[in-house]
Structure formats: C-alpha cells, structure tokens
Amino acid sequence: MRALHRDTGIVLGHLDETRFFTVVVYSRETRRFRLTPVPCRRPAEGAADIEIRCGACGQELLLRARSAASTARVRRRLLVVALAGLAVAAAAVVAGSLVHLPLADPLGKLVLVVFLLALPVAGAAGWRWWKEDGLRLHAATGGADRVHWRMDAPVPVRAAP
C-alpha cells in the first residue's frame, strides 16, 4: 500500500512495441515501454485534474489526483466493504457447518449463494483498498488510449478515456 504524501507522482509508460513469440501452442507477449517519471502535487482537498505530458511522444494526458484525506476516506470505505464481505462469508461458513444445512433445503442454498457472493466482493474490495492511491491516468482527448500506461501501479493500468 502506497503512503499518501502530498507530493507524489506516477511513472508514465509509453508503449513502444509489442512482440509475440509463438512456438506451436506456446505464445509469449513482450511489451517495451519508454518510462517517464511524472511528479505531481495532490490538492489540499477534493480532487483536481493535472495536465501532464508524455516524455516519449509529448502527448498531453490528464492525471486526476485526489487529496490525501479524500483518498483515505475512499480507502476506509473499501476496507469496510472488504471486511463486511469477509464477515458475511465467515458467517455463512459457520452457519453452514455448525447448523446442518442440506443443499436441498432453501436455507442451505441461500447460505451457499451468500458465501459465493460475499467472497469475491471481499476480494475485489480488498484488492482495490490495497492499490487505491487517489491517482488516475486519463487520456486528454477522452477517447481510448492504447499507448499510455501507468507503470507504478501493482498491475500496469492503461490510460482511461
């Protein structure tokens, strides 16, 4: 999890080339990026759009930055959802194992469905809580951008429209 400093930044990646290496059934994709560190300053409160420029091609992009307090609020909300999902999944396991609930029983089906729904909700919210840093890369044109990626994220993220 990234610390929420006022002075922060991202690493912008410009996709230079994509190569495919294929042997019969095996295929590997190799991507080469040119990286540009982009420092930025979070707003004191709320959110702000910051214009940034790609160091490789000079294209203008937008970085939507949330304040540290606002990002902390979003993180807290996501953590609550993740913990609630875990608690519901754990309660479904306890209810399913302590009280004998056969699957033919409607209550047994309900407990199984609740368990199967709560677990992915907890996982998705937990992952988003862990990687949320209040910085989003957007294409300045509003269209799809397949060239510019955010490379400092846990998983590289393409610039959003």
Residues in contact with Zn ion by CB under 5 A are 14, 54, 56-57, 59
Residue with CB nearest Zn ion?
A: 54
> Which sign does the torsion angle of CA 45, 51, 52, 54 carry?
positive
Residue 35 or 95 with smaller CB distance to Zn ion: 35
Residue 14 or 66 with smaller CB distance to Zn ion: 14
For residues 153 and 79, is the Cβ–Cβ distance under 8 A? Answer: no
Query: How many residues appear in the chain?
Result: 161
> Rounded to the nearest whole angstrom, what is the least distance from the CB of residue 151 to Zn ion in the complex?
12
> Rounded to the nearest whole angstrom, what is the least distance from the CB of residue 157 to Zn ion in the complex?
15
Residue 33 or 129 with smaller CB distance to Zn ion: 33
Beta strands 26-41; 148-150: pairing state: unpaired
Q: Is 43 helix (H, G, I), strand (E, B) or coil?
A: coil
For residues 159 and 145, is the Cβ–Cβ distance under 8 A? Answer: yes
Beta strands 157-158; 148-150: pairing state: antiparallel
> Rounded to the nearest whole angstrom, what is the least distance from the CB of residue 23 to Zn ion in the complex?
32
Q: Give the helix/strand (H/E) hosting 28.
A: strand 26-41
Residue 36 or 67 with smaller CB distance to Zn ion: 36
> Rounded to the nearest whole angstrom, what is the least distance from the CB of residue 55 to Zn ion in the complex?
8
Residue 59 or 70 with smaller CB distance to Zn ion: 59
